């Protein structure tokens, strides 16, 4: 009987171990290694045939050189900071765009809601990559947006949007909007309309009732949405490399270049480890929020 | 020693606080309120009574401003309030679903309305504490609504609507979730508040005893219409229709044909039974169908043949023991069931009547009322 319980508990832990811990340990190990002209391109390799001596020399060769290296070149911390900034700003913009949409959906007649929900999820049916390519077509100098603006006569010269940070913001907001809308919608949909009536009855105008009742009651949705956008946005690679320009500095791009252009796996792994450490803080905060929410409902 | 009786509805000079004038409310093609006229006076404790779905909540929501009448007008102190939004009305409502703010503590829920005005922090705190004491919630002030019981939630909703001391307070089934003792205490508390503050109350209740206890007048509704509006004692003693008589309290209804002489009426109602003798101020055409309604407590039950204007013989089928009272269900020879109620002044063992006993039911010729429909 204890065996059964043991297995039941073991399954999720095995899952976590296989899919999270093992890859993490491998990446950490690479981060502590040195670059080498070999396959795989780093050293030392664990040589078990040499027995105990081999293990000892393996551990002796691991060091924190790559992490020290990251601090010597200001490219890295600038890339981290810039990613942080881009992720923060685009999360905020996504919230500004997503909240009214979620609100509109939650207030729509109930027979319309499934359709609206479908429309929000619909973009997922096409590949992420293709959708970002489509934005290149929209934002380029000869793109749809510029053609339209020239046609209306609002501008006489095409605007340069593609290959700037603006294009990156547009891309991130577009790509992650559903992750913002869905949790906020879920929170708003649960809300009892009579609460707004009660607020009005007690002397609130519609606007104050929104601030004092609707916003606080959708807080958990707002927080969840912000994390769901912020966490992937900070490590985003595809959007800055396709839509951003040479001036767009994001850690995902740096990581990719270290891996594939420089073939410096150890430094790339060190960059990834630091990124993970940075992300752990918001992930823990996110978990806290979820737990608090569950307690409040339970 | 003379005491003025509170009866502004009888005084033609008195101006009503609330007037419904030909108010109709439709949801799609469903008529929830049907051409309704009521006058409610200041300082009244007005109770709405009626079966589920008859439009009580709809009526309240129109007063609070959440629904607009499809036609007709609603006047508050002589002024049409239909265009006034809910937050500008001196009306507070206690919601049937309580509608407590889940993200705020009990304290903040009660303070919510006060904070919208321009009261100082201290005034708000004093008022909230007073409300907490009144509703006996002081211990729970810091809890969130999901951390208290259903009855406590109901009291928070009550406290919140009372806090602003509105001119008109709408209570939609305010005491349904409370136990009998607390309900009674709260009823008296409400009456006390009403007396002290002079607030006008409109209260919805399913509990007719509650309506009887607290109300200055009771309105009985059915399918969006008012059936009768009167003081509790008139509603009970002199209902105008069988519907009202049946809705409020227990009643025996006997249908028959009337033959009237002066204010005395004889009702022929069954083969081989004596006609029932009653008294009325109404006039019935000879042979007109009429209903005789009599409350069980006005029917005397005896084992010996009594001497009374009306006497019926029957057999005890069932006895419902209610503690202070017992209700006897008596079957008459033609199958009609009659209820008779007596006070249990003696111990159980000393009572003479039991199951299957042949008994006499009797009542005076003024004990019942005659109704046309
Ligand atoms: N928004 C609405 N849309 C359609 N019909 C409604 C709406 N609100 C109420 N009704 C209908 O109007 C009628 C009266 O409803 P109301 O809520 O006033 O009943 P009530 O007397 O308060 O009943 P209860 O005692 O069960 O609370 C009901 O038949 C209800 O279905
Ligand atoms: Mg109701």
Instruction: For residue A150, list its beta bridge partners.
Output: none
**Chain segment B56-91, per-residue pLDDT in tens:** 999 999 999 999 999 999 999 888 999 999 999 989
Q: With bands split at pLDDT 50, 70 and 90, how would you rate the model's confidence at A1?
A: low
Structure tokens belonging to residue A81: 């900071």
Q: With bands split at pLDDT 50, 70 and 90, how would you rate the model's confidence at A245?
A: confident
Residue B278 falls within a domain, yes or no? yes
- Same domain as B214, residue B275: no
How many residue pairs from chains A and B have C-beta atoms closer than 8 A? 62
Q: Residue B139: which CATH number?
A: 3.40.50.300
Report d(CA B256, CA B362) in Å as an integer.
18
Residue B164 falls within a domain, yes or no? yes
Domain limit, last residue, from B243, B272, B287 = B243
Q: Model pTM greater than 0.90?
A: no
Query: What was the pLDDT predicted at A48?
Result: 76
Residue B3 falls within a domain, yes or no? no
Residue B341 falls within a domain, yes or no? yes
- Same domain as B266, residue B138: no
SS3 A156: coil
- Same domain as B134, residue B106: yes
**A198: chain B residues, CB-CB within 8 Å:** 93, 95, 99-101, 160
Is the model's pLDDT at B1 over the cut of 50?
no
Residue B47 falls within a domain, yes or no? yes
Tally of CB atoms within 10 A around A231: 17
For ligand 1, the distance from its centroid to the CA atom of residue B178, given in whole angstroms, is 23
For ligand 2, the distance from its centroid to the CA atom of residue A137, given in whole angstroms, is 58
In 3D, which of B293, B359, B351 has the Cα closest to residue B321? Answer: B351
- CB of B118 within 6 A of ligand 1: the answer is no
- Same domain as B59, residue B105: yes
SS3 A155: coil
- Same domain as B139, residue B79: yes
Query: What was the pLDDT predicted at B71?
Result: 94
Q: A5 vs A205, which has greater pLDDT?
A: A205
CB contact under 8 A, A203 and B91: no
A101-130: average pLDDT: 93
Is the model's pLDDT at A92 over the cut of 90?
yes
B260-276: average pLDDT: 86
Atom 12 of ligand 1, nearest CA residue:
B32
Share the mean pLDDT of chain A: 90
- Does residue A193 belong to the interface with chain B, where contact is any CB pair within 8 Å? no
- Same domain as B209, residue B157: yes
Categorise residue A158: left if φ over 0, alpha if ψ from -120 to 50, beta otherwise. Answer: beta
Instruction: For residue B45, list its beta bridge partners.
Output: B201
B22 membership: H or E segment, kind and range:
strand B18-27
- CB of B55 within 6 A of ligand 1: the answer is yes
Atom 2 of ligand 1, nearest CA residue:
B27
Number of domains in chain B: 2
Share the mean pLDDT of chain B: 90
ipTM of the shown complex: 0.81
Structure tokens belonging to residue B103: 């993200």
Domains and CATH numbers, chain A: 70-297 (1.10.3720.10)
- Same domain as B54, residue B138: yes
SS3 A259: helix
A113-120: average pLDDT: 94
Give the position, in ligand 1's atom list, of the atom nearest the Cα of B28.
4
Query: What was the pLDDT predicted at A135?
Result: 94
Residue B301 falls within a domain, yes or no? yes
**A201: chain B residues, CB-CB within 8 Å:** 64-66, 86-87, 91-93, 113, 161
What is the rounded end-to-end Cα distance, in angstroms, of chain A? 30
Is the model's pLDDT at B349 over the cut of 70?
no
- Same domain as B271, residue B302: yes
A8-36: average pLDDT: 88
Closest ligand to B48 CA? Answer: 1
Query: What was the pLDDT predicted at B350?
Result: 62
Give the position, in ligand 1's atom list, of the atom nearest the Cα of B30.
5
Of the candidates A197, A202, A297, the beta carbon closest to that of B116 is on A202
- Same domain as B154, residue B55: yes
- CB of B219 within 6 A of ligand 1: the answer is no
Atom 30 of ligand 1, nearest CA residue:
B53
- Same domain as B254, residue B226: no
Query: What was the pLDDT predicted at B338?
Result: 93
Query: What was the pLDDT predicted at A297?
Result: 66
Query: What was the pLDDT predicted at B3?
Result: 60
Residue B257 falls within a domain, yes or no? yes
Is the model's pLDDT at B311 over the cut of 50?
yes
Give the position, in ligand 1's atom list, of the atom nearest the Cα of B51.
25
- Same domain as B145, residue B258: no
CB contact under 8 A, B144 and A296: yes
CB contact under 8 A, A201 and B91: yes
Query: What was the pLDDT predicted at B273?
Result: 83
Sequence-ordered strand ranges (E) for chain A = 34-35, 42-43
Domain limit, last residue, from B212, B243, B274 = B243
Domain limit, last residue, from B228, B243, B258 = B243
- CB of B56 within 6 A of ligand 1: the answer is yes
Q: Residue B333: which CATH number?
A: 2.40.50.140
Structure tokens belonging to residue A169: 């913001």
Report d(CA B196, CA B190) in Å as an integer.
10
Task: For B117, name the nearest residue in chain A, comparing CA atoms only.
Answer: A203
CB contact under 8 A, B87 and A201: yes
**Chain segment B160-189, per-residue pLDDT in tens:** 998 988 889 999 988 887 888 888 888 888
- Same domain as B229, residue B143: yes
**Chain segment B278-295, per-residue pLDDT in tens:** 998 888 888 889 999 999
Q: Domain containing B23: what range?
A: 8-243
Residue B2 falls within a domain, yes or no? no
């Amino acid at each position: 009987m204890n065996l059964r319980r043991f297995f039941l508990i073991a399954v999720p832990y095995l899952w976590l171990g296989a899919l999270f811990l093992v890859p993490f340990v491998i990446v950490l190990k690479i981060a502590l290694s040195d670059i080498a002209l070999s396959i795989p391109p780093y050293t030392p390799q664990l040589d078990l045939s040499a027995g105990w001596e081999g293990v000892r020399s393996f551990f002796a060769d691991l060091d924190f050189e790559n992490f020290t290296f990251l601090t010597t070149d200001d490219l890295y911390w600038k890339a981290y900071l810039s990613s942080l900034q881009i992720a923060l700003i685009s999360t905020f913009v996504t919230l500004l765009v997503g909240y009214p949409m979620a609100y509109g959906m939650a207030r729509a007649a109930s027979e319309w809601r499934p359709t609206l929900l479908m429309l929000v999820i619909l973009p997922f049916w096409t590949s992420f990559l293709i959708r970002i390519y489509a934005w290149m077509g929209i934002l380029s100098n000869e793109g749809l947006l510029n053609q339209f603006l020239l046609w209306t006569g609002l501008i006489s010269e095409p605007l340069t949007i593609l290959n700037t940070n603006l294009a990156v913001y547009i891309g991130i907001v577009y790509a992650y909007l559903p992750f913002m809308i869905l949790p906020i919608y879920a929170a708003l949909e649960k809300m009892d309309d009579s609460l707004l009536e009660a607020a009005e009855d007690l002397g609130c105008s519609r606007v104050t009732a929104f601030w004092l009742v609707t916003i606080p009651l959708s807080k958990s949705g707002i927080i969840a949405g912000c994390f769901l956008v912020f966490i992937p946005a900070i490590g985003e690679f595809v959007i800055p490399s396709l839509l951003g320009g040479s001036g767009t500095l994001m850690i995902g791009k740096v990581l990719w270049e270290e891996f594939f252009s420089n073939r410096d796996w150890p430094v790339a792994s060190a960059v990834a480890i630091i990124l993970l450490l940075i992300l752990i803080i918001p992930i823990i905060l996110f978990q806290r929020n979820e737990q608090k929410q569950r307690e409040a409902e339970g | 020693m003379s005491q003025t009786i509170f009866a502004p509805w009888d005084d033609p000079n008195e101006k009503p606080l609330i007037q419904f004038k030909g108010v109709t409310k439709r949801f799609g093609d469903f008529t929830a309120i049907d051409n309704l006229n009521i006058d409610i006076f200041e300082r009244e404790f007005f109770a709405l009574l009626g079966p589920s779905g008859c439009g009580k909540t709809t009526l309240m929501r129109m007063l609070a401003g959440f629904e607009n009448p499809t036609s007709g007008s609603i006047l508050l102190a002589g002024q049409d309030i239909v265009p006034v939004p809910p937050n500008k009305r001196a009306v507070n409502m206690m919601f049937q679903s309580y509608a407590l703010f889940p993200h705020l503590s009990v304290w903040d829920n009660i303070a919510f309305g006060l904070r919208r005005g321009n009261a100082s922090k201290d005034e708000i705190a004093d008022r909230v504490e007073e409300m907490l004491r009144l509703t006996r919630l002081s211990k729970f002030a810091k809890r969130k609504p999901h951390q208290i019981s259903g009855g406590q939630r109901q009291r928070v909703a009550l406290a919140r609507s009372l806090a602003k001391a509105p001119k008109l307070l709408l209570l939609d089934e305010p005491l349904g979730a409370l136990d009998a003792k607390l309900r009674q205490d709260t009823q008296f508390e409400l009456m006390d508040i009403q007396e002290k503050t002079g607030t006008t109350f409109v209260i919805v209740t399913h509990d007719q005893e509650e309506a009887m206890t607290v109300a200055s007048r009771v309105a009985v509704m059915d399918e969006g219409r008012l059936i009768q509006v009167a003081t509790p004692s008139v509603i009970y003693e002199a209902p105008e229709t069988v519907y009202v008589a049946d809705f409020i309290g227990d009643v025996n209804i006997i249908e028959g044909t009337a033959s009237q002489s002066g204010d005395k009426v004889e009702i022929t109602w069954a083969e081989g039974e004596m006609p029932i003798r009653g008294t009325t101020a109404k006039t019935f055409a000879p042979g007109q169908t009429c209903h005789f309604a009599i409350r069980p407590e006005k029917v005397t039950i005896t084992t010996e043949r009594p001497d009374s204007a009306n006497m019926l013989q029957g057999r005890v089928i069932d006895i419902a023991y209610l503690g202070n009272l017992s209700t006897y269900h008596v079957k008459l020879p033609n199958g009609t069931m009659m209820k008779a109620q007596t006070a249990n002044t003696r111990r159980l063992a000393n009572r003479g009547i039991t199951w299957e006993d042949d008994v006499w039911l009797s009542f005076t010729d003024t004990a019942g009322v005659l109704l046309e429909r």
